[in-house]
Amino acid sequence: MLRSIPWVRIWIRPRTTMREAFETASLKHVLLLASLFGVVTFIEAASSESWGESIPLPWLLTMSASIGPAFGIAGLYIFSAILKLIGRLVGGKAESSRIRTAVAYGYIPWIWSLPAWALGITLGGIEFFRNQPERTVSDPLAIGLTIGLVLVLLPVFFALIVLAIIVSCKCYGEAQGFSAWLALLNFVLAFLALIIAIALVAAPISLVIFGTLS
């Protein structure tokens, strides 16, 4: 029964799931996946960068639910465009909409981590977004549970990351007619191109800012 659900089947049969998605997935569904991925990415960034040290929990949650989806959708279109451009260099011929669908479905394994993030926030509150919990916190049990949860889930998250990368590569590979290895190469080259593009844009801006300040 569960294997008939795309969100479950994609873990074990990603290429078959993608072939069906190319025929049935709507733009609304693709954007929903991108939005949820944006929320996961925003929460992960807020936690790893300890934004809770300076931003209250209600604001963090509001930003996760609003800014996260916006960045997720924008990232989907931008990264898919770069993938398409790089993919052309290695023989890819998929249309933009097909690539966006594959990238969005490749987000599903990452989206599965959302319940774990929600549990961590529920148990730890603002401490979940801090580097070191305050010693004056009134509920040390919640902090202990949060730390224990993180330690237990770290190996699980690592294994899921590896598996998620494999699934993402196979989803994109199905769109372009690539092997998983060629899809991985396409991803790596696209990430490098994105980093270079950001650096080229950021460098002049930084020079202007520092020149103005000096």
Contact 2, 28 (CB under 8 A): no
Answer whether 0.85 is exceeded by the pTM. no
Distance separating alpha carbons of residues 96 and 77, to the nearest angstrom: 9
Mean pLDDT of the chain: 83
Domain, as residue range, for 34: 2-213
H runs (alpha helix) in 27-90: 27-48, 57-89
Segment 151-159 mean pLDDT: 73
Number of domains in the chain: 1
Instruction: Report pLDDT digits (tens) over 192-206.
Output: 988 888 888 777 776
Q: Closest Cα partner for 169 from 140, 190, 150?
A: 190
Higher pLDDT, residue 64 or 52:
64
